């Protein structure tokens, strides 16, 4: 069973009976609020907008059962898939006792000889890494985000050589996660990073991840900055960055 189906099934088993109370598709992030107050986030992937009908009129989120909205995670439409993942995160990302607080880079061992692969550009993380490791390879799909970003084709050559990998959880939305992790032959540390990260260790037990680094929403007021196209800087009062060690 692929991780995408496994993730959805875990959410379906826990989310039955819940309803989606609100859904916000901001330009930066998507947020889904359930009827019990839980909120989940996911990155908004908007590619190739060709008309004002980005989603068809019959696609609705608010007022629908959470398990039905979560099924959109498997959609080929990346906006719908993002809403599905945000719904899954609203269901699964709950308080627990084993969260580790802090910068994920401080929770792993880094050495000067390390070769770090970053899939998805995390600027603050990249800045911290540049003078710490021998190589920093950044792969980014979004044109214009980083001039020196490497191409996807180069992943097949470089990822098997990486000793540390930092992977954006957006790979779950665009369904590239499994291909990427299959290329990691030498990595001793593999971090899944970003607010889109499902904080559910069991889902990733068959994969080489060592750390989940995501966000726990603690205040539904985050819906407002999401709607206003804000990002993580504006989200700080409403969430807590947390980590889970897997291996």
CA dist., res. 180 & res. 3, Å (int): 13
pLDDT of residue 74: 97
Residues whose CB falls within 8 Å of the CB of residue 138, separated by 6 or more in sequence, listed in order: 118, 121, 126, 146, 148, 149, 150
Q: Are strands 211-217 and 135-139 parallel, antiparallel or unpaired?
A: unpaired
Q: Could you tell me which residues are beta bridge partners of residue 242?
A: 101, 214
CATH code assigned to 100-215+240-245:
3.40.50.11590
Torsion of CA 54, 21, 94, 46, to 10 degrees: 10
Note the Cα 39 to chain centre separation in Å. 14
Q: What is the pLDDT of residue 142?
A: 72
Tens digits of residue pLDDT in 124-174: 999 999 989 999 999 987 765 666 789 888 999 999 999 999 999 999 999
Instruction: Please compute the mean of the pLDDT values over residues 169-189 and round it to a whole number.
Output: 97
> With bands split at pLDDT 50, 70 and 90, how would you rate the model's confidence at 65?
very high
- Residue 143: the pLDDT is 62
Question: Fold for domain 3-92?
Answer: Enolase-like; domain 1 (3.30.390)
Task: Record the pTM.
Answer: 0.94
Q: What is the pLDDT of residue 53?
A: 79
Domain residue spans in the chain? Answer: 3-92, 100-215+240-245
């Amino acid at each position: 069973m692929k991780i995408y189906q496994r993730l959805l099934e875990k959410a379906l088993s826990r989310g039955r009976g819940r309803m989606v109370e609100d859904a916000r598709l901001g330009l930066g992030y998507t947020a889904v609020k359930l009827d019990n107050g839980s909120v989940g986030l996911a990155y908004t992937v908007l590619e190739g907008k060709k008309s004002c009908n980005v989603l068809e009129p019959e696609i609705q989120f608010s007022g629908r059962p959470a398990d039905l909205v979560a099924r959109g995670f498997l959609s080929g439409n990346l906006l719908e898939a993002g809403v599905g993942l945000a719904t899954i995160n609203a269901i699964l990302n709950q308080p627990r006792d084993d969260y580790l607080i802090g910068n994920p880079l401080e929770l792993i061992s880094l050495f000067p000889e390390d070769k770090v692969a970053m899939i998805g550009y995390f600027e603050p993380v990249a800045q911290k890494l540049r003078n710490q490791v021998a190589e920093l390879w950044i792969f980014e799909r979004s044109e214009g985000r980083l001039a020196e970003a490497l191409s996807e084709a180069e992943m097949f050559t470089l990822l098997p050589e990486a000793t540390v990998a930092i992977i954006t959880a957006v790979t779950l939305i665009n369904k590239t996660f499994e291909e990427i992790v299959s290329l990691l032959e030498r990595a001793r540390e593999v971090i899944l990073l970003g607010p889109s990260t499902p904080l559910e260790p069991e889902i990733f037990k068959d994969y080489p991840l060592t750390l989940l680094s995501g966000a726990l929403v603690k205040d539904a007021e985050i819906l407002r900055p999401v709607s206003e196209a804000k990002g993580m800087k504006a989200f700080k009062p409403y969430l807590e960055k947390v980590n889970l060690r897997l291996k």
